[in-house]
Amino acid sequence: EENNYTHFIKQIVEKDMESGAYDTIVTRFPPEPNGYLHIGHAKSIVLNFELADEFGGKTNLRFDDTNPLKEDKEYVESIKRDIEWLGYDPEAVRFASDYFDEMYNQAVSLIKRGLAYVEDLSQEEVRKLRGTLTEPGKESPSRERSVEENLDLFERMKNGEFGDGEKTLRARIDMSSPNMNLRDPVLYRISHTEHHNTGNKWCIYPMYSFAHPLEDAIEGVTHSLCTLEFEDQRPLYDWVIANAELDAEPKQIEFARLNLTNTVMSKRKLKQLVDENYVDGWDDPRMPTISGLRRRGFTPESIKQFCREIGVSKADNLVDVRMLEHFLREDLKLEAPRTMAVLDPIKVIITNYPEDGLEWLPADINPENESMGMREIPFSREIYIEREDFMEDPPKKYFRLFPDNEVRIKHAYFIHCHDYKKDENGQITELYCTYDPETKSGSGFTGRKVKGTLHYVEASQAVPAEFRLYDSLIDDEAEGDNFLDFVNGESLTVKHGFVEPNMKDVKANDKFQFFRHGYFSVDPEEATDEKLVFNRIVELKSSFKL
Ligand code: ATP
Ligand code: MG
Ligand code: MG
């Protein structure tokens, strides 16, 4: 895929290549396996993979699994699957935990050079000494320990002689630095927790801000792209790189996170929606996860094109979720077969059509792409139309069917409504119409005009189907942690209707444009031989303009 988009990070890389600062580029995508990937991660994936690719470089997938409490193998597998589905192939798949030995050795080396010490003050006490933005911190008494004592204590930390929180390893940097992150940050903490990868081998774990630069350097990463909230950490990143005994010199570059309207985008919050059953799982089609978008019917190309178009900058912004929908329509409009589905059926009886008659009418598969050819659809005495396409007592400018009105049935004939039947609840159950054989579609009939065109499905051959229509999961006023108060209780509407007979053999994830209703995809989980289930991906039109 050609990527013609430029942005400030690409310009930095261009300069670095020209100046010879690096002779190849290596990037990484570093998710923490504590949840499923979401559309925000897609922005980072597209950026990292396509940037490296453009300069002939490579991208690793690296699981940042330094926090054993929240991590899980299920998440690791889902992340691999999602990246592959998007169409990227990592140069290597690594785990931060692969480097725990190396990280430990680097910490020992810092201790030996007087650059790190074991702290026995509690977290609370350490916080008190840290100072504030306007007030320098105070040095802890632990800072003056000898190298020998630090080496001994650190080894005993590793050997499990202390409980969680009893000791930490801190960098010896500068307690009066204006950057709080440099006031002797913690490098290692004790946590007697089993790790999904290393089991019970370790009871001390490196902090993210120590581990991350080391992981980058070990892998020979040249440009370490992260989101803006790490900007204040960059001096610490640089300190670790400068003091580690590793050759590579990666540089950290920050860019703005993707924020989307009507969307929460944090694994923690998405996990809450799953755990508290607001949705049916991480791949619920309403979720902004890659797996949710996939199940809903979004294509990899629509997601990638969206990520390219939103651009990469240093300024936080909020992107309209309709922009993502726009790229789905763009991607499918020439490829998705057109077909007719009646979502909320009402039966029409064509009283002057032969009792046992059935004919097959030609219909184009995609009028915007003639190469897709034609299909045949049945027509007979009984057809279904949408309930909303008939009104007993229509307002002005209602051009669909009503008593004594005539409309066109798409691909078929004009029909004229003469009568209708209601049940005891006043619900209309059947319409009685006649058709005019002279008005057959394609016959060139010009005798008279009608204003409305209705889609239909012939009754005897109709295939029953369930349709799932989605609305935003989150109302647009939601902000911060109160998002659960803004969950839309009507984000899912289920309809039962019919599709054309040639839809009988559809497969999971097949995508269609249903006349007037929008783009739909066959649900891969719940569609069975007896029951087709379609997810609406997006509606046909939107007021959104690029
Ligand atoms: P979350 O809050 O969703 O857990 P995170 O940043 O903690 O987000 P990570 O697993 O650490 O999630 O993210 C992996 C990579 O994806 C990081 O480089 C991170 O900066 C990037 N990323 C995460 N969310 C976004 C986003 N909304 N926009 C762009 N990049 C993102
Ligand atoms: Mg993170
Ligand atoms: Mg996180």
Residues of the chain with pLDDT > 90, as a percent, come to 93
Residue 346 CA to ligand 3 centre (angstroms): 50
**Which sign, positive or negative, has the C-alpha torsion 81, 86, 87, 90?**
negative
CA 186 to chain centre: 33
What pLDDT is recorded for position 1? Answer: 46
Strand order in the sheet with 341-342: 338-339, 511-514, 518-522, 532-538, 463-470, 492-499, 341-342
Q: Which atom of ligand 1 is nearest to the CA of 259?
A: 27
Residue 80 to residue 63: CA distance in whole angstroms: 10
Residue 208 CA to ligand 2 centre (angstroms): 9
CA end-to-end span of the chain, whole Å? Answer: 21
Q: What is the mean pLDDT of residues 319-343?
A: 97
Angle at which helix 208-218 crosses helix 234-243, to 10 degrees, equals 50
Residue 266 CA to ligand 3 centre (angstroms): 7
What pLDDT is recorded for position 513? Answer: 98
**CATH of segment(s) 339-460:** 2.40.240.10
Q: Which atom of ligand 1 is nearest to the CA of 229?
A: 20
Residue 234: C-alpha distances to residues 76, 107, 194, 231 (Å): 27, 19, 30, 5
The answer to whether the beta carbons of residues 116 and 90 sit under 8 Å apart is: no
pLDDT in tens, 510-527: 999 999 999 999 999 998
Q: Whose CA is nearest to atom 8 of ligand 1?
A: 266
Q: Whose CA is nearest to atom 28 of ligand 1?
A: 257
Topology, domain 8-258? Rossmann fold (3.40.50)
CATH superfamily assigned to domain 464-538: Ribosomal Protein L25; Chain P (2.40.240.10)
Q: Which atom of ligand 1 is nearest to the CA of 257?
A: 28
Q: What is the mean pLDDT of residues 33-40?
A: 97
Listed in order, the ranges of the chain carrying CATH 3.40.50.620 are 8-258
The answer to whether the beta carbons of residues 270 and 38 sit under 8 Å apart is: yes
Query: Residue with structure tokens 């990227």?
Result: 88
User: Which residues are CB-contacts of 115 (< 8 A; sequence separation ≥ 6)?
Assistant: 171, 172, 243
Longest CA pairwise span in the chain (Å): 102
Angle at which helix 100-112 crosses helix 208-218, to 10 degrees, equals 110
Residue 3 to residue 26: CA distance in whole angstroms: 18
pLDDT in tens, 112-127: 999 999 999 999 999 9
User: To 5 degrees, how large is the angle CA 271–CA 73–CA 287?
Assistant: 30
pLDDT in tens, 227-275: 999 999 999 999 999 999 999 899 999 999 999 999 999 999 999 999 9
Q: Which atom of ligand 1 is nearest to the CA of 266?
A: 3
Average pLDDT taken over every residue of the chain = 95
- Asked whether the predicted pLDDT for residue 477 surpasses 90, the reply is no
Ligand nearest to the CA of 264: 1
Catalytic residue (choose from 32, 139, 330, 430): 32
The answer to whether the beta carbons of residues 94 and 61 sit under 8 Å apart is: yes
Residue 32 CA to ligand 2 centre (angstroms): 6
Would you call 166 a catalytic residue per the annotation?
no
pLDDT in tens, 350-406: 999 999 999 999 999 999 999 999 999 999 999 999 999 999 999 999 999 999 999
Q: What interface predicted TM-score (ipTM) does this complex get?
A: 0.96
Q: What is the mean pLDDT of residues 21-36?
A: 95
Question: Among 70, 227, 317, which is best to mutate for testing ligand 1, by the most ligand atoms less than 8 A from CB?
Answer: 227
Q: What is the mean pLDDT of residues 326-345?
A: 97
Nearest alpha carbon to residue 506 among 374, 336, 290, 380: 336
User: Which residues are CB-contacts of 373 (< 8 A; sequence separation ≥ 6)?
Assistant: 364, 365
pLDDT in tens, 493-505: 999 999 999 999 9
Ligand nearest to the CA of 35: 1
Residue 258 CA to ligand 1 centre (angstroms): 9
Would you call 229 a catalytic residue per the annotation?
no
Catalytic residue (choose from 62, 94, 158, 267): 267
Residue 292 CA to ligand 1 centre (angstroms): 17
Ligand nearest to the CA of 269: 1
Q: Which atom of ligand 1 is nearest to the CA of 270?
A: 3
- As for ligand 1, residues whose beta carbon falls within 6 Å of it are 30-32, 40-41, 43-44, 226-227, 257-258, 265-267
- Asked whether the predicted pLDDT for residue 546 surpasses 80, the reply is no
pLDDT in tens, 142-154: 999 999 999 999 9
What pLDDT is recorded for position 3? Answer: 63
Question: Among 28, 41, 209, which is best to mutate for testing ligand 1, by the most ligand atoms less than 8 A from CB?
Answer: 41
Listed in order, the ranges of the chain carrying CATH 2.40.240.10 are 339-460, 464-538
Q: Whose CA is nearest to atom 23 of ligand 1?
A: 41
Q: Whose CA is nearest to atom 13 of ligand 1?
A: 31
Least reliable range by pLDDT among 178-187, 191-200, 286-295, 478-487: 478-487
Query: Residue with structure tokens 């001994």?
Result: 152
Residue 313: C-alpha distances to residues 13, 177, 256, 318, 357 (Å): 15, 28, 6, 12, 64
pLDDT in tens, 394-442: 999 999 999 999 999 999 999 999 999 999 999 999 999 999 999 999 9
Catalytic residue (choose from 257, 271, 495, 516): 257
Q: Whose CA is nearest to atom 27 of ligand 1?
A: 40
Residue 28 to residue 30: CA distance in whole angstroms: 6
Q: Which one-letter DSSP state was computed for residue 395?
A: P
Would you call 301 a catalytic residue per the annotation?
no
